[in-house]
C-alpha cells in the first residue's frame, strides 16, 4: 500500500484529502535563518531576504525524514518484484 501523502515544507497547518492523495500544507518557522541577496539589472538593485543554506538544509532534512517515515516495507524494497523472465 502506498502512503499517498504530499508534504509542503515546515510545521503542519492544514490537511486536504483528494481521493487517495493527502496534501499536507505546513507553516514556515517563526524565525527562519535568512541571508541577504542582491538582484541587479540596468534599472538598479533589489535587496531581498532568502533562505540561508542552513535553513534550506534544515527544511530538506525535515522533509526527507517525513517522507522516509511514510514509506512502507514494499516501497523500501524497491516497490515491486522483478519480472519473471523464464522461457516456458
Assess whether pLDDT exceeds 60 at residue 77.
yes
Pick the most confident of 36-40, 52-56, 78-82.
Answer: 36-40
Assess whether pLDDT exceeds 60 at residue 10.
no
Domain boundaries, the chain: 5-76
pLDDT of residue 6: 59
> How many whole angstroms separate alpha carbon 81 and alpha carbon 71?
17
Ramachandran category for residue 58: left, alpha or beta (phi over 0 → left; psi -120 to 50 → alpha): alpha
Amino acid at each position: 500500500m502506498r502512503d499517498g501523502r504530499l508534504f509542503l515544507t515546515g510545521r503542519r497547518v492544514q490537511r486536504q484529502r483528494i481521493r487517495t492523495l493527502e496534501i499536507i500544507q505546513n507553516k514556515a518557522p517563526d524565525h527562519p535563518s535568512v541571508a541577504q541577496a542582491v538582484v541587479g539589472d540596468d534599472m538598479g538593485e533589489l535587496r531581498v531576504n532568502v533562505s540561508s543554506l542552513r535553513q534550506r538544509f534544515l527544511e530538506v532534512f525535515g522533509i526527507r525524514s517525513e517522507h522516509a517515515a511514510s514509506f512502507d516495507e514494499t516501497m523500501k524494497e524497491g516497490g515491486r518484484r522483478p519480472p519473471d523472465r523464464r522461457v516456458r
